[in-house]
Amino acid sequence: MHRSANVDVISEEHNEQVRRLDPLRLDSELRMLPRLNRAADVAALARVLGAALPPAESIAAFTTAECLAAMRDLGMYLGSLQRHGVSAFDAVPGATRSFQLLGQRTGMIPRDTVYHYTSWNPTGERERLYTGHPMERSLINAVRTCVPNLAHAVDVGRSLMQEDPAAPVHAERIASLAAHIAVADTVMSGIQASVTPEFFARVLRPFYEDVRVAGHTYMGPAAAHIPIFLIDLLLWASDRGSPGYLQFCREVSAQTLPQWRERYAEWANTPSITSRVVAALGTSGARSPDEIVEASARSLRRALQTLTSFRGKHLVMARRAYQEELRLYELGSGGGSVGLLEEILALTRQNRALLNATAAQRVQLP
């Protein structure tokens, strides 16, 4: 996959530019997609997809934004066919090549992702929907709302890696990161209120299935793509995560935005912020630097508490959606199990407790 500097989810101007585009002229067809899905009309889905596939010359002439919009729209048919048990790459001649070329142009995987489905999805009458149900709109809008904040948190994290915990700006940047994460926590509360576990498990989840393209498996437009895993890696998981979670982060990182694959490569083998702050708390020194480190520790505890709150709400929803009598699938749309979510929540709490214990021990020192 080639690196593209123009694949962005922070800039609302860029997101809106992609939303406005309809390079394959599928606006009218996509309004009919929920009806085709209700009827399980596989023949019509395959026919529309086949007719919409852009030739290689058109893809080469597209702008990056047009490639993103084209992948978004083709992906709606890809996910719909997969939901009805049909691989588009088997049923529609030429599909593999078109999806691969669009992925290459954007430096992304050869299928749609959660960003195509949310950040780059038009709002209002042009919104691309599998079901047309208000709960689907609510879920899309919730993710669309929080993604820019999580992207900002990743950017703040990059600057944090350059700072010593004893630097005054360190605590301020962790506090800024925590504020961005808090938006995701608030949004998760909204999802709990507006999307029932039954609707997600029985109606939406089947549209987010993995697909195989040229022998490789790619996850659907799943929430696992959003960079919470990168924030975990930065704050605690790079050297304090479980083998299972680190493997999950590795797999997800390969299917997200190009710049976030770079962040993963930078952070996976770097001491976490928790480890760096704990080490700094354990180092004696002048009183002024100690106070600065303690401020960093307080900000970090707040960030971990916010992550804990988000993870707790996510776990409650996952337990309900994947309870045995309701679920259609063993694993979440990102490939993670409820057990893995429980493990991540426990590890986040453990790292916050470690900070608390280290700070308390420090207070007791003469």
> 240: number of CA atoms within 13 Å, CB side?
24
CATH number of 146-364: 1.20.58.480
pTM of the model: 0.90
Which residues belong to CATH 1.20.58.1320 in the chain? 12-126
Domain boundaries 12-126, CATH class: mainly alpha
d(CA 173, CA 236): 16
Q: Are 293 and 280 in contact (CB under 8 A)?
A: yes
Q: What is the pLDDT of residue 165?
A: 85
| pLDDT tens digits, one per residue of 347-359 | 999 999 988 888 7
- Whether residue 364 has pLDDT greater than 80: no
d(CA 155, CA 192): 28
Which is nearest to 150 in space by CA: 126, 125, 113, 176?
Answer: 176
Which is nearest to 130 in space by CA: 88, 82, 79, 92?
Answer: 79
Which residues belong to CATH 1.20.58.480 in the chain? 146-364
- Whether residue 332 has pLDDT greater than 60: no
Per DSSP, helices labelled H in the chain are 12-20, 27-31, 33-38, 42-52, 56-61, 64-83, 88-91, 95-106, 114-117, 134-160, 168-194, 197-199, 228-232, 238-240, 243-253, 258-267, 273-281, 287-321, 338-364
Q: How large a percentage of the chain has pLDDT more than 90?
A: 71
And the tokens for 182?
């808090």
